[in-house]
Amino acid sequence: MMAVAAKVRCAIYTRKSSDEGLEQSFNSLDAQYEACAAYVASQRQEGWILAKDRFDDGGVSGGTLERPALQQLLSEIDAGRVAMVVVYKIDRLTRSLADFAKLVERLDASGCSFVSVTQAFNTASSMGRLTLNVLLSFAQFEREVTAERIRDKIAASKRQGMWMGGIVPLGYDPHPDPKVRELVVNEAEAETVRTIFDLYDRHGNLILVAREAAALGLRSKRYVFRTGRTQGGNVFSTGHIHKVLLNPVYLGRIRHKELVWPGRHQAILNEDLWNRVQENLQASARRGRGRRSDADPALLAGKLRDETGDRLTPTSTMKAGRRHRYYVSNRLVAGGPDPTGWRLPASKLESLVAGLVADHLERAASGHQLLTDPDLRAASDLATAARALAASLRRPVPSLLRGVLVSGVVGAKEISLKLDRITIATALSVSADSLASEVGKVSAEVRLRRRGVEVKLIVGDRAEKPDPVLLKTLQDAHRWTAALRTGTPMGDLAAEAGHHEVHIRTRAPFAFLSPRIQRAIATGTLAPELTLRRMLVLDIPLDWIEQERLFGLP
């Protein structure tokens, strides 16, 4: 009796790099699918059956594995629903040897193979794997040579002054004939560009230019992409203005990397204005570097992002002659008020991050978790070095904290940090390869408390510090009310405190707040927006339940 072949469920994967021709009723993806389906049908005696789902990636490069249909196919393979992947040619699946290695490892883990219908091999045999590696080497070589050829062509075209595509700068539109590689002046936008240059020529200050540009109603260029997605049309940020001021395209030139060539398009600006603005920008940059060298360093600049992915940008304000530093979500700098934006006091955030990293290293040292293979003979020396490193971080040593921290994300519920294992290994006098992988990652639960746009982060179960002004006011209120009960005149109390009687009269009622509110002030658990100034203007009722409702206590 003839044995029945085991069923092999086959999935066909097709891909086309460009979207040209995909709108046709029968396109390249369909042609690939039909050829693969015919091959699967020819293997019916081997038990091959075709899956109902199609996995088509149209207009997607093979240089990445992040393709929608491919990721869907891999999910099916992981779930054990596909035993064979069928492709028209192997380069439809990938052109990268590194990506191929990842795919083979993932397919092997699920007991899946793949076959190319136009190339006589499949990965079920060792010879097939060898042939595949050779073909992939040539495919990757072809891809790299093609990329070099394209880069050389772009460089040569720009030397001829051609516009080679990309985001069209403010002030210009692409030529109406797509075959003509030139920009044409958009007069309305060109006037905006001239106004920005004139404003900077007059003020020499990016913040003043951004403020006046907003007042004049100037907006950035609005783009509409093929997908329908829109971008731009917003008020100018200082960063965007700076980018406009440095763009040589407005002088009729084309930039390619560090080189600038005469362009074929018309200039918007005259050379005298351009030169004046460039000289002012360079002078301003030199002055800015001088000021920053004397100021407190922004230790976390460029390192952190908020939970939306927006970079936390260092900034500062002057109040009563004192400089206050913050890290703010970049959208607050670029686009004005945003209730979801973050505004974190800089010194507290820097101390918090340094403390988290220091605690992490000390815990790892005490638990013998710094190294992949712990060496108990050297554990004492390693723990001593880790404690010294932690102490330096808590001080903090600016260059050390910046060197240790690679990046981080600050969220409403968690802060996660990525550390530089080489810097840590150097400080501990060990090799980076010997460090445990967990050493490079730190995460901690946080609680979020807001005071307007300013945010306070509380890590884990760390005790909160009471507001010193509120706590002293509460203590004074109890002392004053006790003295008043014994008959001490309010004038004497005011003279002793060095304040007017109104000062005593407005603060003494704090002694009659509900016990829960007073306990919250003493422990620092009162809502951060309830500052002394805020509480003094509130109409606080005598009833304790009403007080607690007013103060937001549950």
Q: Where do the domains of the chain lie?
A: 8-143, 172-294, 305-459, 468-550
**Distance in angstroms (rounded) separating the CA atoms of residues 459 and 113:** 48
Residue 450 DSSP one-character state: E
**Distance in angstroms (rounded) separating the CA atoms of residues 268 and 195:** 11
Residues 485, 489, 493, 499, Cα dihedral to 10°:
130
The three-state secondary structure class of 445 is strand
* 213 neighbors 241 (Cβ within 8 angstroms): yes
**Distance in angstroms (rounded) separating the CA atoms of residues 7 and 40:** 12
Within 8 A by CB and 6+ apart from 523, the residues are 464, 466
Per-residue pLDDT, 495: 85
Bridge partners, residue 449, by sequence: 456
The token pair that represents 412 in the structure block: 């409403």
Domain 8-143 matches domain 172-294 at the CATH topology level:
no
Per-residue pLDDT, 459: 58
Averages of pLDDT over each 10 residues, the chain, 554 residues: 72 87 83 91 89 89 85 90 89 74 80 81 63 66 74 77 81 86 88 90 84 87 79 84 88 79 86 86 65 57 85 79 80 61 81 88 85 73 83 77 87 86 83 84 74 53 68 90 88 84 87 89 76 82 87 76
The token pair that represents 280 in the structure block: 């002012």
Bridge partners, residue 323, by sequence: 318
Quickly list H helices, 48-185: 68-78, 97-109, 126-159
The token pair that represents 175 in the structure block: 């030529």
> Strand runs (DSSP E) across 29-122, as ranges?
48-50, 55-58, 84-87, 113-116, 121-122
* 425 neighbors 320 (Cβ within 8 angstroms): no
Residue 52 DSSP one-character state: S
**Distance in angstroms (rounded) separating the CA atoms of residues 278 and 515:** 64
The token pair that represents 141 in the structure block: 């070589």
Per-residue pLDDT, 448: 60
Domain 8-143 of CATH type 3.40.50.1390: yes
> Exposed, middle or buried, 241 (CB in 10 Å: 0-12/13-18/19+)?
buried
**Distance in angstroms (rounded) separating the CA atoms of residues 173 and 176:** 8
**Distance in angstroms (rounded) separating the CA atoms of residues 449 and 529:** 9
Please identify, in words, the CATH class of the domain defined by 172-294. Answer: alpha beta
**Distance in angstroms (rounded) separating the CA atoms of residues 68 and 191:** 43
The token pair that represents 506 in the structure block: 């407005």
Per-residue pLDDT, 4: 63
**Distance in angstroms (rounded) separating the CA atoms of residues 195 and 189:** 10
Residue 320 DSSP one-character state: T
Look at residues 446, 524, 522, 510 and name the one whose alpha carbon lies nearest to residue 479: 510
